[in-house]
Chain A
Amino acid sequence: MKSKPVILCYSRNDITNFVVLMILGFAIIPFIVPTDYWYTSILIPWLCLSLAAIGQQIVMGYAGQLALGAAGFMAAGAFALFNLELRLPFLPFPVALGIAGLIAAAFGIIFGLPSLRVRGIYLMVATLASQFFIIWMIDKFGWFKNYDTSGIITAQDIVIFNKPFTTPFEMYLVIMVVVTVLTIFAINMTRGRTGRNWMAVRDMDLAAESMGISLLKTKLQAFAISAFFCGVAGALFAFTYLKSMEPVAFDIKLSFRILFMVILGGLGTISGAFIGAAFILLFPVVLNTFGNEFFHGMIDATIISSIELVVFGVLIIVFMIYEPLGMAKLWENLKLRIRSKFSNRFGGEQKA
């Protein structure tokens, strides 16, 4: 609940969380994670997809607009960055990354326009247009891929202030910084006027309008900011994880995965984006390891990936029925329960 702010709008709790996470991300993980495998296969994609999930969260979890096209905006960001690096090599990487995000945001505004007229599944279909159109556009116009015919284009190296960031650990650091900064922005927005307007539109658009909120501005803003986050996430995803530029990597399946991240993680929470991304990313790894450990390859890998689909599907149904606010809410409840147990045992002095 709303606790007293200490610095800016942040409570003591926020600051503790922030410090712990920063120490974990910048000090502890670099020490305890020795292999590149963890950076390249787990941490880097997790952070990139979490960022995209925050984007999806903004438009869907906060503004309540059922959009299904995050991967399209990610592709827009990725290819924007590729072309910026290619054609304007003098741009510093952070600037180019920002512009790539803005280009994605422009697409977000265009494809967010239908949200002014329609909602629910109608909007979902309209946003699918963005998914298919953006991927098609990149695929069909050679300019975007620098007329490369091999089909596989390598992403440029990340260079900041003449220092290349090319090892997995270095790339992890770059992503950590970007994700940290953007996450703080997202939290600020969702706690302030911006996010309140989004949520008002989500919960009851007519009442929001009657309080003087412009639906046009609020919805398009949510689409733009969402697409910005997705665009930056997509650019990082392509430059650090895929390391190549291929439109198929951003197909509708990725959009569905990001949708699942926010649904399972918990709609309308920033932490849900991270939790959901971790789950969607790690569960197949766990399932595969489990399958190999116990059945020694007797189960076909395709069967395992089918089981994965079933489990995701079942979980979505179960969460929709029992806890529409997802894993973030479960985690919240668990914390509350532990805390209340704790304070009961110690005579309740914890209560402030």
Chain B
Amino acid sequence: MSEERNFPIGNAILEIKNISLSFGGVKAITNTSFTVLEHEIRAIIGPNGAGKSSLLNCINGIYKPQEGSISFKGKMLEKINPNFIAQQGISRTFQNLALFKRMSVLDNILVGRQLHMSANFLQVALQLPKAMEEEQSNLAKCEEIVEFLEIHHIRDTPVGKLPYGLQKKVELGRALATDAEVLLLDEPMAGMNVEEKREMCRFILKVNDELGTTMVLIEHDMGVVMDISDNVVVLDYGKIIGDGPPDQVRSNQAVIDAYLGVAHD
């Protein structure tokens, strides 16, 4: 990591306080708290089923935690639904790809611009200047993202026809298009080869560096996590067992136990 950043790590931007979530009787997350700092890259790691994705889904408003609260930029999020959270400036990608399969790459990314567009259906139907201008300016913005992610050659292909790695890229593109202050990335590098992972890391670091976007990412590849993240949260059985800079977490005994599979009491 370069020492001088365009956007130095700042104060808390996202505070998760005492979140508990269960499905039926199954506890997914138990009384979990941690804080994400502005402009940082924060990794969430942990074994399968530790509750990582559930945690992101809580932040994003897809799941409603039974207990606890989430504050964004010092304000408690009063409504917990994905639409509202998106409006606050938190965007995300999904673990198992949640792209609009029959739409082209460009259209997928354009959907990410949704919150920056306001023409109503009549203006669109009548092709009024407002709708036209808005469409053009947002299209230009999306073309930039397409160039940035080096996916120009597939911009008009329906995403359902693309290989997995490219789809992951498109999903990142769509999240970037929102201009969100916080990006939640759920395993952005899952299923990728070394080359693709390296490329994805480059994009993530570049976005963080150039735009100062705060990133919260779930990742299994320890190498990647140690390389790019500023801080790491470790989850196991829905509880936090480690939180801190990568080096510190790596030497944490509880974390080592969880990963080596020491029996729980």
A193 touches B62 (CB 8 A): no
CB contact between B135 and one of A192, A204, A210 (< 8 Å): that residue: A192
- Check if B83 is an interface residue, CB within 8 A of chain A: yes
A200 touches B103 (CB 8 A): yes
Contacts of B131 in A (CB 8 A): 192-193
Contacts of B64 in A (CB 8 A): none
A197 touches B156 (CB 8 A): no
For residue B135, give the distance in angstroms from its CB to the closest CB of chain A. Answer: 6
Which residue numbers of B lie inside 8 Å of A, CB to CB?
A: 60, 62, 81-83, 85-87, 91-92, 94, 98-104, 106-107, 110-112, 114-115, 117, 119, 121, 124-127, 131-132, 134-135, 155-156, 174, 178
Contacts of B125 in A (CB 8 A): 185-186, 188-189, 194
Minimum CB distance partner of A10 in chain B: B127
Contacts of A268 in B (CB 8 A): 102
CB contact between A185 and one of B62, B104, B126 (< 8 Å): that residue: B126
Known pairs A196-B103, A203-B103, A206-B98; A211 contacts B81 (CB<8 A): no
Minimum CB distance partner of A267 in chain B: B102
CB contact between B114 and one of A199, A211, A221 (< 8 Å): that residue: A211
For residue A9, give the distance in angstroms from its CB to the closest CB of chain B. Answer: 6
CB contact between B127 and one of A8, A207, A208 (< 8 Å): that residue: A8
- Check if A16 is an interface residue, CB within 8 A of chain B: no
CB contact between B121 and one of A206, A207, A209, A221 (< 8 Å): that residue: A221
- Check if A84 is an interface residue, CB within 8 A of chain B: no
A207 touches B114 (CB 8 A): no
Please measure, in the bound complex, the distance between the C-alpha atom of A207 and the C-alpha atom of B156, giving whole angstroms. Answer: 20
Number of interface residues of A (CB under 8 A): 32
A213 touches B124 (CB 8 A): no
For residue B104, give the distance in angstroms from its CB to the closest CB of chain A. Answer: 7
Contacts of A1 in B (CB 8 A): 104, 156
Minimum CB distance partner of B174 in chain A: A211
> Which residues of chain A (169-223) have a CB below 8 Å from chain B?
185-186, 188-189, 192-197, 199-200, 202-204, 206-215, 221
- Check if A225 is an interface residue, CB within 8 A of chain B: yes
For residue B119, give the distance in angstroms from its CB to the closest CB of chain A. Answer: 6
Minimum CB distance partner of B107 in chain A: A196
For residue A300, give the distance in angstroms from its CB to the closest CB of chain B. Answer: 43
30 contacts between A and B (CB under 8 A): A2-B155, A8-B127, A9-B135, A185-B126, A186-B125, A189-B121, A193-B117, A193-B119, A194-B121, A196-B103, A196-B110, A196-B111, A197-B111, A203-B99, A203-B100, A203-B102, A204-B100, A206-B82, A207-B98, A207-B100, A209-B81, A210-B82, A210-B83, A212-B114, A213-B83, A213-B114, A215-B83, A221-B121, A225-B121, A268-B102
